[in-house]
Structure 1
């Protein structure tokens, strides 16, 4: 038992510069707050590339698909971008799928995509279907970091097969987080399935008929601003206190909101 605990700690610490410290990263950043904002900025640029259709990600709706999204989003930050986590994780006492079951659960997600005819769905059918897919993907949480952003892009790719699209900006952060938590099974050991119905209301708000007028997307706007600004990498200055966060080209508030969604 002691050896098992030791091995678990080793796997967990392998992701960190030092035990209890910041995630290892390609940017050589050792401050978690600084890494958080740098990751958001770089990831936003990569997501903009996906949103503009500049990246070839095969729509296979399986592990390869999810890994390809994650790899592209976080390729500038982590060596393990596109690789499933090797450690177990939880959020506020709610456990995600154990690491050894990630392949099995990713197959579950894919099955819930492929067993539906998305092209003929009514709006109500789409809301229920996409909520089911997302709830299983969110519970799987296959990566050490970046799960929320990856799941969002994956859901958008699923929506491409339907008469609808998703506008995530239509739902407030607190409402989104509460619905996501409510969809978790109370005890993953007793009941391994999430409750997609807890997400129906938020996905109903986000569902828009394809072809209708697009609303402004603050995340995409932030990414485009970064591309056209003088931003030339990460800010290597020491992070300031929580009450004095730097305005790194306007991304700080959006990064905070995304961190909550990625929980």
Structure 2
């Protein structure tokens, strides 16, 4: 696991003197833990069914709980420490709820993007995805939970999505660009994924 916490003091989510996240299995070996988490979350996602709106922070938290509840005691709970990846700092813990609620309220005001023409839809999805990604409300599992959330939003709009053909490097770069409000790459990726 990469050390993506910032701030002073030890990370309360990891085992002492380790970067492995505390888990229900007591696994402390990094490689073994990564494999177990991947396997369990892939199985869990198969049991999660589509639900119609409202899509909000509570719904996002429920998806995270469903994905990671067998692994983490804190699944579905908002993180209590500030985190970053590389030079990207995610939302301060005191701003997670207000910022998420603001964006989800805006999404609801736009009827969860239902009825938009395809070209407008992918632009809006890229913007919302990028803006919500900055929030990163959980200690781990943000990307998987957010992609699942957006699958539900997209299905609700009458389309299908598959992230399978996306190269991880281009996905990361699109997210970095989106962090800086440059949505073109994310828009192009959604255009490739959504039918």
2:175 to 177, 180, 184: 180
Mapped to 1, the partners of 2:52 and 2:36 lie a distance apart of 28
Q: 1:80 and 2:70 equivalent?
A: no
Task: Give 3-state SS (helix, strand or coil) of 1:133's partner.
Answer: helix
2:122 — aligned with what?
A: 127
2:30 — aligned with what?
A: 32
2:146 to 145, 151, 160: 151
State the Cα deviation string for residues 130-151 of structure 1 (Å, max 9, x = none).
1112111211111000001000
1:41 — aligned with what?
A: 39
CA, structure 1 residues 66+40, in 2 after alignment: closer, same or farther (shift >3 Å)?
A: same
C-alpha contact 1:113 1:158 (8 A) present in aligned 2 = no
How large is the Cα RMSD of the aligned pairs?
Answer: 1.8
Q: 1:207 and 2:190 equivalent?
A: no
2:108 to 100, 111, 114: 114
| TM-score (normalizing by structure 2) | 0.89
What's the CA shift for 1:45? 0.7
2:87 — aligned with what?
A: 93
2:161 to 147, 166, 175: 166
Mapped to 2, the partners of 1:67 and 1:142 lie a distance apart of 9
Mapped to 2, the partners of 1:31 and 1:38 lie a distance apart of 11
Mapped to 2, the partners of 1:42 and 1:20 lie a distance apart of 21
Unaligned runs of 5+ in 1: 1-6, 186-193, 209-263
Greater gyration radius? 1
- Consecutive aligned runs of 4 or more in structure 1 exceeding 2 Å deviation: 57-60, 194-198
Q: 1:140 and 2:135 equivalent?
A: yes
C-alpha contact 2:126 2:190 (8 A) present in aligned 1 = yes
What's the CA shift for 1:64? 0.8
| TM-score (normalizing by structure 1) | 0.67
Mapped to 2, the partners of 1:33 and 1:195 lie a distance apart of 34
What's the CA shift for 1:58? 6.6
Mapped to 1, the partners of 2:152 and 2:82 lie a distance apart of 27
2:4 — aligned with what?
A: none
What's the CA shift for 1:108? 2.7
State the Cα deviation string for residues 68-122 of structure 1 (Å, max 9, x = none).
0000000110000000100111111111111111001211331342122433211
